[in-house]
Amino acid sequence: MTAHAAPVACEPSWPAWESFKKNFIDEEGRVIDNNTGDMRTTSEGQAYALFFALVANDRTTFDKLFNWTEINLAEGDLTTRLPAWLWGRREAGDWGILDENSASDADLWLAYTAGEAGRLWTDRRYVALSSLMANRILNVETAEVAHLGLVLLPGSNGFQEGGHVRLNPSYLPMQLMRWFANRSKDPRWTALTDSSLQIIVNASAQGYAPDWTLYDEKLGFVPVPETDKRGIGSYDAIRVYLWAGLLNRDDPARRLLTDRFKPMAQFISRQHSPPESIEISTGTAYNSGPVGFSAAVLPFLLASGLKDTALEQVRRLNASPPGAENYYDQVLTLYATGWLNKLYHFDLKGNLITRWISKCQ
């Protein structure tokens, strides 16, 4: 099974990554989402690109991306603050931070990738920055919640009110949680690992992951009332299936999650593509998802034993690859096809195993 396959050397040839760099990364190391009017950059985009650069052994691009992130999203110092999640063109026409709040999914990927870059490239600065960021995540992006324990909030501000907390299951990749728990030895990471799996499973009771969920101390997991009374899984939730599929085959969470999401796997088998959005309580779906969604579910379908359905998604992806302007589709495709073509995988402790490191050491 192949999608955009490429040979790998010490500097692996990865055409999809080269295309992403050309389309979305400027000379200074800023990832630009061209589909938005403010030509925005997000901490998430920077973190994802850093991960791909590490998988590609592209140190030059990695350093540019990291430097731009630190200078522009963290006021020049990631040792003292987490990055702002949104940067772009302001109404007055100047450029800068548009929202000071952090985004914990980006912070997880950034701290993880910095730590693994430090290990794989033997760079102590990145290891140290990773450790400092991990501690800051624990201190400003977590909260104790009744019946759940310590949970990862989506950001540092605005996600708790009274007896409920707003959560995003796609912000909780289990392989990263395991890596932090193993590396830091701080028991709070073990608590976060446990609560994260509980959130993903219990917020998806009917087998479909939501974009957002509200945890109420009395009612449990419920849809976010003011924006989404039905509970919708769409552009955020697609990553829940992606992260689940990328788990090491021996990780017990992999079997638990593929069992939980069997209804979604069966839906894709029946309809031949994932939905763009789905009501998580009823399974009512709306529209066929973009091609990036087909890429995202590839590892999940293979983990579920649905090779024929996965092949259908490969054919769809190869017949209509993501457009040059579609940032999110390309991100999902890079994650999925990089793994599919064995450019990287995660071991049982969450360590990143790249193809280039095994070829070049």
Which residues are annotated as catalytic? 44, 105
Torsions phi, psi of 96, nearest 5?
A: 170, -165
> What ranges make up the beta strands (E) of the chain?
41-42, 86-89, 95-99, 142-145, 149-152, 160-161, 164-167, 213-216, 220-222, 232-233, 275-279, 285-288, 344-346, 352-354
Handedness of CA 166, 195, 204, 258 (dihedral sign): positive
Cβ-Cβ contacts under 8 Å for 137 (sequence gap 6 or more): 82, 104, 107, 108, 111, 152
> Strand, coil or helix: what is 153?
coil
> What is the per-residue DSSP string for 20-79?
HHHHHB-TTS-B--TTSTT--EEHHHHHHHHHHHHHTT-HHHHHHHHHHHHHHHSTT-TT
d(CA 232, CA 229): 8
d(CA 73, CA 62): 16
Torsions phi, psi of 232, nearest 5?
A: -115, 135
The answer for 345, left when phi > 0, alpha when psi is -120 to 50, beta otherwise, is beta
First to last CA, the chain: 28
Tell me which residue has tokens 């997991």: 221
d(CA 78, CA 127): 13
HEC per residue, 186-223: CHHHHHHHHHHHHHHHHCCCCCCCCCCEEEECCCEEEC
* C-beta atoms surrounding 221 within 10 Å: 21
d(CA 105, CA 228): 21
